[in-house]
Chain A
Amino acid sequence: MSTQTEPPETDDEAESTPEPEPEPERTPGERRRAEKANRAAERELAEAEEAPDLGENAVTLKVFRYDPEVEAKEEPRFDTFRVPFEKGMTVLDALIAARDTYDSSLTFRHSCRQAVCGSDALFINGRQRLGCQTQIADLDGDVVRVEPLPHQDVVKDLVVDMEHFYDQMEAVEPYFQTDETPEDELEEQHQTPENREKIKMSTRCIWCGACMSSCNIAADDNEYLGPAAINKAYRFAMDEREGEGMQEHRMELIEQENGVWRCQTQFSCTNVCPKDIPLTEHIQELKREAVKSNLKFW
């Protein structure tokens, strides 16, 4: 069922005036879509009243809703959904159930449902988590509150604009570059197992954006590269295959004004990372490397 906790006024208006005056700037198509939206909202309310009592074995979701284009959703609000609980149910499963059963306009990104595509980082009960990796049974309280990632522009419902995150990722030259390349097409560059182990955790990043959303510094300052991008830089700077010349260049990149020195080691990124990457440690290590490499040139 979908009941609005704070029914927007627009709904009431639509009910009392079934045929609103057409606004001149709207095309007929837009008008029809708006009417359709209102009728859909009415149907939802009707369905909500008829919905069976799910009793105790149900999950209550409070989900953030917003759509700049749909009159009833222009003002952000929370909708409540109750879906049957099943053993092993994740927050993503519950959202899918709510969407497929009650309201097909409920919008969120999702794909792999196994914590590797990074699509469904959400703000669940006040913390950045992946919807697919969060068991409902592990959450405290009776209600699961689901919001889009904070500090990012909301596109619609739970979908945020990721462009800024991607821009920061791409700002650190996030690709392998070497001083020398092997001549033969079948010649591999060697890497010690120890060095591979050193970069291992940093290579696990799935670009979900949870860390960036949790970071106070990134929230205040749009220019700060942020934990994910610095971790990406770490992944290359620590890779012995790139060579010393390239490492110097990497250090310059991460030491720039908006790089590692902005981090205030609050560990919020490390705490929310769904892949357990020690982000703060990586940033700290780069700070130390930067100091060392500066001393070298004195």
Chain B
Amino acid sequence: MREYDVIVVGAGGAGLRAAIAAQENGADVAMVTKLHPVRSHTGAAEGGINAALREGDDWRDHAYDTMKGSDYLGDAPAVEALTRESPKETIQLENWGMAFSRDEDGQVSQRPFGGLSFPRTTYAGAETGHHMLHTMYEQVVKRGIEVYDEWYVTRLAVSDEDEPEERDCHGVVAYDIKRGEIEGFRARDGVILATGGLGQVYDHTTNAIANTGDGVAMAYRAGVPIEDMEMIQFHPTTLPSTGVLISEGVRGEGGILYNSEGERFMFEGGYANNDGELASRDVVSRAELNEVNNGRGIEDEYVHLDMRHLGEDRILDRLENILHLAEDFEGVDGLEEPMPVKPGQHYAMGGIETDEWGSTCVGGLYAVGECACASVHGANRLGGNALPELAVFGARAGRHAAGAVDEPAKITTGWDADSEEGENVSPVPLGEADLPSSEKGALADGGATSPSGDSDPGVDAADADGVVEQAVQAERTRVHYLLEKEEGINHAEVRSELQETMTENVNVFREEGALKEALEDIREARQDYQHVTVEDPSRTYNTDLIHTIETRNLLDVAEAITVGALARDEFRGAHWRKEHQERKDDEWLKHTMLSWNDGSPGLWYKPAMLEGEAKTYEPKERSY
């Protein structure tokens, strides 16, 4: 068993920043990541980093924009932490050498972005995430922080008290992809999950193939509640054939959306009379699909994004990467013709419930970045708010885990006095419930509960080492089972069933019947998953095994998204319901919470915190 003070799982922007902060505060840190750090999907972020840096701007205005963008489902203490600390973190990146685009006077450049009252999106061409990721990794190399790359964390080592709030996380179990060995990692002070997105739940997504919601699923099964999972952002400008992202920066610089009639529909269709193309992402995505559904789409599928009028110089200076993406992945020359775009899954606003320090209700367990829900983004994330979230909350959690913070959190985690029970909305059983029990032991990943059968009687699960040791054994059992199983189906069949139903039924426009159908399909996919087998017998670089385990995570995450979407019978932010066309503030200024309950998931609710330090954010009608 390996032992460190702090273990960071995942090495994108949030994980790297957390590791640096923990190490700077004296912790012995290791990063464990299924991809080498520079392969992380932070590198695909394009647009920029919102930060109130300039005269005339104020972090309070950024907080207000973010809260409005969230459709009043953000939690004010988290939103204010983000906007207050983003300038410091952004300048920190500059001081670490990040190659931001520059104004004539040598300052870092900023540009307008959707839903912002000030042009505060700090950028590096249309490849801001790439620069941020590499700059942070450089700092990790400089500090000599240990990185276990191509080690896949498959389970958290969490104690098994009845209530999640009483449990502690003592480490993780990881599978060394190159050698095929399973090892325990004991964390003396904290485990920080920074595993990123879950876009592989859908088949049209800007997310990487590696974005399979691993952290969310592992924490959920270990008892940590997951929050607002129904809140999925569909980005309005992705390339139709691949889902590759075309940055909001194109519209920020003046790019225009047209329908098949050549109308500038954001204005002419009355979708956003003031901000037009720069309305919030949820607004633009719905507008595009509405145009397509009413026969004004091109090839009945997409709309056009035109940037030709910006001129070659400006495009090459600020958006060059977009030209390459359009050329390589859609065969379109953005200097000569408009680019085809349609909405695609882009970001999960929901995730693992944390406070504004990244702490979860399980002792010693943190979550930061896209896998976490503090909540900064509520029902809709503003463009340019994801990258600062990585830096700000990565740093906060890193410091906290290293014991350098004694400021109490304002946001509570876990069940509290203001929580209320929810009713079951699903037409089918959820979670592990009702699955054939014979195979449950090996395939289930109950997290906190002890593994089925043959645990070593010599292991004392009461002490920290014992908890890790027991988790290691559970994973050995699971991997052994998957590798040894003779007959069965390939996980890819299950994954594609799942992606199909999610894309068809749990997309931008949501209807009750379709959501129920999706839950039935997910149930079926879960049953099918009971029969998966890994054909590749090798211990060396067995991606068949890795993908099979990922698919299990996708099932849990997809189910949670759909249950939340069915329960929330209102229209808020990215969550649109056909039967419920209004935001219901009397009933729904609250977060949907889902707890695994050892395999029988249950819904409950917690009020959103609209009271901040700067002000109380009274819900207003949201128009752009």
Residues of A within 8 A of B (CB): 29, 32-34, 36-37, 39-40, 67-70, 87-88, 99-100, 103-105, 107-119, 133, 135, 155-157, 159, 162, 166, 170, 173-176, 181-182, 185-193, 196, 199-200, 203-204, 206-207, 236, 239, 241-242
Are A199 and B537 neighbours in the complex by a CB distance under 8 Å? no
In chain A, what residue has the closest Cβ to B245?
A114
The answer for the CA separation of A207 and B130 in the assembled complex, in Å, is: 11
Are B94 and A189 neighbours in the complex by a CB distance under 8 Å? yes
Are A112 and B106 neighbours in the complex by a CB distance under 8 Å? no
CB distance from B561 to the nearest CB of A (A): 22
Are A117 and B535 neighbours in the complex by a CB distance under 8 Å? no
In chain A, what residue has the closest Cβ to B210?
A111
A-B contact count (CB 8 A): 177
Which 7 residue pairs are nearest across A and B when measured between Cβ atoms? A176-B97, A190-B106, A105-B536, A33-B537, A175-B138, A175-B142, A100-B492
Can you list 19 pairs linking A and B with CB atoms under 8 Å apart? A33-B484, A67-B538, A70-B537, A99-B492, A100-B496, A105-B535, A105-B544, A107-B536, A107-B543, A108-B543, A114-B44, A116-B127, A117-B39, A119-B35, A176-B135, A181-B95, A186-B87, A186-B88, A196-B100
Are B537 and A37 neighbours in the complex by a CB distance under 8 Å? yes
Are A176 and B96 neighbours in the complex by a CB distance under 8 Å? yes
Give the residues in chain B near A104, CB-CB below 8 Å: 490-492, 534-536, 544
In chain B, what residue has the closest Cβ to A38?
B537
Are B43 and A112 neighbours in the complex by a CB distance under 8 Å? yes
Are A117 and B87 neighbours in the complex by a CB distance under 8 Å? no
- Contact among A36, A114, A166, A189 with B486 in the assembled complex (CB-CB below 8 Å): A36
Number of interface residues of B (CB under 8 A): 70
The verdict on A111 contacting B540 (CB below 8 Å), with A104-B490, A186-B88 known, is no
Are A207 and B38 neighbours in the complex by a CB distance under 8 Å? yes
The verdict on A68 contacting B540 (CB below 8 Å), with A117-B40, A176-B97 known, is yes
In chain A, what residue has the closest Cβ to B539?
A69
Residues of B within 8 A of A (CB): 35-36, 38-41, 43-44, 53, 87-88, 91-92, 94-97, 99-108, 125, 127, 130-131, 134-135, 138-139, 141-142, 178, 208-210, 241-242, 244-245, 324-325, 328-331, 480, 483-484, 486, 490-492, 496, 534-544
- Contact among B99, B178, B244 with A200 in the assembled complex (CB-CB below 8 Å): B99
CB distance from A261 to the nearest CB of B (A): 25
Give the residues in chain B near A111, CB-CB below 8 Å: 35, 39, 41, 208-210
The verdict on A193 contacting B104 (CB below 8 Å), with A114-B244, A117-B41 known, is yes
| Chain A contact surface mostly | loop
CB distance from A275 to the nearest CB of B (A): 9
CB distance from B548 to the nearest CB of A (A): 9
Give the residues in chain B near A68, CB-CB below 8 Å: 540
Q: A29-B484, A105-B538 are in contact. List 9 more A-B contacts (CB 8 A).
A: A34-B537, A70-B537, A87-B241, A104-B544, A111-B39, A112-B39, A119-B39, A206-B43, A207-B36
The answer for the CA separation of A68 and B537 in the assembled complex, in Å, is: 12
Are B535 and A40 neighbours in the complex by a CB distance under 8 Å? yes
In chain B, what residue has the closest Cβ to A43?
B535
Give the residues in chain A near B108, CB-CB below 8 Å: 188
- Contact among A33, A116, A192 with B44 in the assembled complex (CB-CB below 8 Å): A116
The answer for the CA separation of A185 and B537 in the assembled complex, in Å, is: 53
Are B537 and A36 neighbours in the complex by a CB distance under 8 Å? yes
The verdict on A112 contacting B208 (CB below 8 Å), with A104-B535, A133-B328, A162-B36 known, is yes
Give the residues in chain B near A203, CB-CB below 8 Å: 99, 131, 134
Are A112 and B41 neighbours in the complex by a CB distance under 8 Å? yes
Are A176 and B138 neighbours in the complex by a CB distance under 8 Å? yes
